[in-house]
Amino acid sequence: MSLPVALVIAYLLGAIPMSWLVARFAAGVDLRAVGSGNLGATNLYRTLGWKYAVPAGLFDVAKGAAPTLLLPARVGPETWLPLVVGAAAIVGHVFSVFVRFRGGKGVATAGGVVLALAPVPLLVSFLVWAVVLKATGYVSLGSMLGAVVFPFAAWIIGTANPWVAPVGLILAAFIVFTHRSNVARLLAGTEHRFGQRREA
């Protein structure tokens, strides 16, 4: 398999807008028109609840982990390949060709990528996310801080793949970028806290 083919497969898998599909076909709701308008599991939870959000979120994790684990070995032995393939899946999730290049914030799919490559540093990142969420109620703030912590955790703890920590820095910057509207709402004091439901 060539690298371009692997990247296209990873992108298309990442681009499957599962939260949008669940909302559309299970409840007749266009997720782009409710809540924050984001096509991630958090907005799905706020709109329809856990029953819909958890499976969609797990799928988002899987579509990051699966191509990262399965495709690079078919392309070559280079250690940077899993990161590049995983990045294609994340880009697909954030800019999905199936819903006019809209998507989620990339957190769950990025989590799937690093779960496949560095589960222990990811655990540290997850704990930071959980503590921040518990202390503040803001999923977005926890997601951003967890993403920022990850590359440093990977560097301190160490990983089998030497590209995880440096690419993690780029990934953290990208996650903060996708949350720029959340940053604006946090600064304005209008960001929604976890548990605040919006009925469709």
pLDDT band at 196 (very low <50, low <70, confident <90, very high): low
Q: What is the pLDDT of residue 73?
A: 93
Burial 143-167 (b: 16+ CB within 10 A, else e): bbbbbbbbbbbbeeeebebebbbeb
For residue 7, which of 114, 62, 77, 86 has the smallest C-alpha distance?
86
Name the β-bridge partners of 60: none
Q: What is the pLDDT of residues 36-87, one digit of tens each?
A: 778 989 899 888 888 999 999 999 999 999 999 999 999 999 999 999 999 9
Distance of CA 147 to the CA centre of its chain: 10
pLDDT at position 199 is 47
Residue 25 has pLDDT above 50, yes or no: yes
The pair phi, psi for residue 102, each rounded to 5°, is -105, 170
Cβ contacts of residue 170 below 8 Å, gap of 6+? none
Q: Could you give the CA distance from residue 189 to residue 175 in angstroms, rounded to a whole number?
A: 20
pTM: 0.90
Q: Is 106 exposed, middle or buried (0-12, 13-18, 19+ CB in 10 A)?
A: buried
Tally the C-alpha atoms within 13 A of residue 195's C-alpha that lie toward its C-beta.
Answer: 5
Q: For residues 178 and 34, what is the distance between their CA atoms, to the nearest angstrom?
A: 18
For the record, the structure tokens of 105 come out as 């914030």
pLDDT at 197 over 60: no
Residues in the chain: 200
DSSP string, 105-160: -SHHHHHHHHHHH-HHHHHHHHHHHHHHHHHH--HHHHHHHHHHHHHHHHHHH--S
- Answer yes or no: is pLDDT of 154 > 80: yes
How far does CA 153 lie from the centroid of its chain?
18
CB 17 within 8 A of CB 98: yes
Contact between 65 and 115 under an 8 Å Cβ cutoff? The reply is: yes
Q: Is 96 helix (H, G, I), strand (E, B) or coil?
A: strand
- Which one has a higher pLDDT value, 162 or 194? 162
